[in-house]
Structure 1
Amino acid sequence: MTGPLLPDPTFTPTTDLSDARPDAAILAPILRDYGGRPRFHGPAVTLRVQDDNPLVRAALEEPGGGRVLVVDNAGSLNCAVLGGMLALLGTRNGWAGVIVNGCVRDAAELATLDLGVRAVASHPRRSAKRGLGERDVPVTFAGVTIHPGDHLYADEDGVVCLPAPDRAS
């Protein structure tokens, strides 16, 4: 980071969303904060992988446009599917954050980047490079199903998922 981050005027705290929105789904508090941006939000792009990260790289190489990449690695504690190099790609390409149901690595480096990163744990082992997985599919973890386009808000109090406008009741 080059200096202190300015508050995002479009960010609504998760506590306020939880109080005001009956359709707010709150992820169980299983995710730790690893990124240099503690508060982030944006529409979800979803991936389902299994100890394999080429789809993560491919997504983060695209323009992020303030979106949040949600990677469901089935809560695996076998290896990391996101590390410093991929997180730097995400930062450079305008992603707001990455949420991983699984592990990340390079924790000290992640903490210096202007990117929100939430994950179950840190792990030194890198993932496989088979290129297997699915993109833009609903993923379920931490008690919540996240659909592509749902809006995610993450801050010091947790992660809230609001349904995409086409799914709102």
Structure 2
Amino acid sequence: MEKTSTPDLCDIHADQLKVLTPVFNSYGGRSNFFGQVVTVKCHEDNSLVKQQAATPGKGRVLVVDGGGSMRRALLGDMIAENAVKMGWSGFVIYGCIRDCDEIAALDLGVKALNTIPVKTEKRGLGDLNVPITFAGQTIHPGDWIYCDNNGIVVAKRKL
């Protein structure tokens, strides 16, 4: 995977980027990742996250709007391991994850608000590929997201 610096992208493509508010921590083994966006909107139920991680990722990034909940983890090691096998580039989660030490050992980018050991209830609730809004920006399915230790930026097209 090519390295793409978010500061460089901001310098070159400032008029084409949306910059997310810096509220995320990095948990995956890959700190620099990017890809086309698939969105999931869910609240304390990671059924759709698990389902999507089991499909071919094709280098895409699953962007999850968990409503900023700090009560349940939307990603754990088993889903993350499956995502690596299926070719996902990473996850950006507006919510929490768990199994952070195991996830840190994977070749996967993971940005989330924090960690919590509590799993979600599986009720099959959530929305796939809808516009989602968090961290000061609206992200659409098919957008391109670029993440590194400097921040997260979103563009309408691949840069």
Tell me, what secondary structure is at the counterpart of 2:152?
A: strand
Shift of 1:23: 1.6
CA–CA distance in 2 between the matches of 1:123 and 1:58? 21
CA–CA distance in 2 between the matches of 1:54 and 1:126? 11
Deviations 1:104-139 (A, max 9, x none): 000100100000000000000000100101000001
Query: Between Structure 1 and Structure 2, how many residues are aligned?
Result: 157
RMSD: 0.9
Q: Does 1:145 align with 2:126?
A: no
Tell me the residue number matched to 1:5.
none
Tell me the residue number matched to 2:58.
65
CA–CA distance in 2 between the matches of 1:114 and 1:96? 8
Tell me the residue number matched to 1:45.
38
Higher mean alpha-carbon deviation, 108-117 vs 19-28, is at 19-28
| TM-score normalised by L of structure 1 | 0.91
Shift of 1:163: 1.2
Tell me, what secondary structure is at the counterpart of 1:118?
A: strand
Higher helix share: 2
Structure 1's consecutive aligned runs of 4 or more residues displaced over 3 angstroms after TM superposition are none
5+ residue gaps in structure 1?
1-7
Paired residues of 2:97 and 2:112 also in contact (CA < 8 A): yes
**Letter aligned with residue 77 of structure 2:** G
Tell me the residue number matched to 1:4.
none
CA–CA distance in 2 between the matches of 1:97 and 1:131? 22
5+ residue gaps in structure 2?
none
**Letter aligned with residue 7 of structure 2:** T
Tell me the residue number matched to 1:96.
89
Tell me, what secondary structure is at the counterpart of 2:22?
A: coil
Deviations 1:1-58 (A, max 9, x none): xxxxxxx33x321001111111211111100000000000000000000100110011
Paired residues of 2:4 and 2:32 also in contact (CA < 8 A): no
CA–CA distance in 2 between the matches of 1:89 and 1:102? 20
Tell me the residue number matched to 1:26.
19
- Aligned pairs for 1:152-163 (under 5 A) are 152-163=145-156
Tell me, what secondary structure is at the counterpart of 2:16?
A: coil
Tell me the residue number matched to 2:79.
86
| TM-score normalised by L of structure 2 | 0.96
Shift of 1:164: 3.6
**Letter aligned with residue 40 of structure 1:** F
Q: Does 1:16 align with 2:8?
A: yes
